[in-house]
Amino acid sequence: MKIKKFTENKSDLMEILLIGDEDERMIAKYLDKSTIFAVYEQENLISACAVMKIDNETVEIKNIATFQAYQNKGYASILLDFVCKTYKKDFKFIILGTGENRHTLSFYKKRGFVETHRIKNFFINNYSHPIFEDGKQLTDMIYLKKSL
């Protein structure tokens, strides 16, 4: 397994980024400003994470995704740990926003993230179509934060 850093040609990773954020227009808003870290097994792309600097203390995970065949095998955890260690040198906090999905929220909370606030109706107001996870329509964006 290896982790590659992408600062150029990031649109080459669009297929996997669309797993974590299914609207290419929304991805385009942060893609140029983000660094992407991608996990590979041999030459196979497994998981990717887009991270963007917010200010001198904080970075934000804008997208983290794993191809379905590799989900629940620890790749996202390894990638998240790598990202946290990488940014710990220069930043105090890492934040992220996600929908109200019990499994996803549990994943982040087990790794030290705590809920800070919600943006009401984010998914309704910012996406051209309804977004569903686990059979439930996402409405609010839930922000989580972790001290690095």
* pLDDT tens digits for range 68-97: 999 999 999 999 999 999 999 999 999 999
Q: Does 129 score more than 90 pLDDT?
A: no
Strand locations in 1-148 (E)? 2-6, 34-41, 44-53, 58-66, 93-98, 114-119, 132-133, 136-137, 141-147
- Domains of the chain, by residue range, sit at 2-147
Contact 34, 53 (CB under 8 A): no
Q: Which fold has domain 2-147?
A: Aminopeptidase (3.40.630)
Please choose, from the candidates 94, 117, 123, the residue with its C-alpha nearest in 3D space to the C-alpha of residue 22: 123
Q: How many CA atoms lie within 13 A of 136 on its CB side?
A: 9
Pairing of strands 58-66, 93-98: parallel
Q: What is the mean pLDDT of residues 2-15?
A: 94
The whole model's pTM is what? 0.92
CB neighbourhood size of 125 (10 A): 10
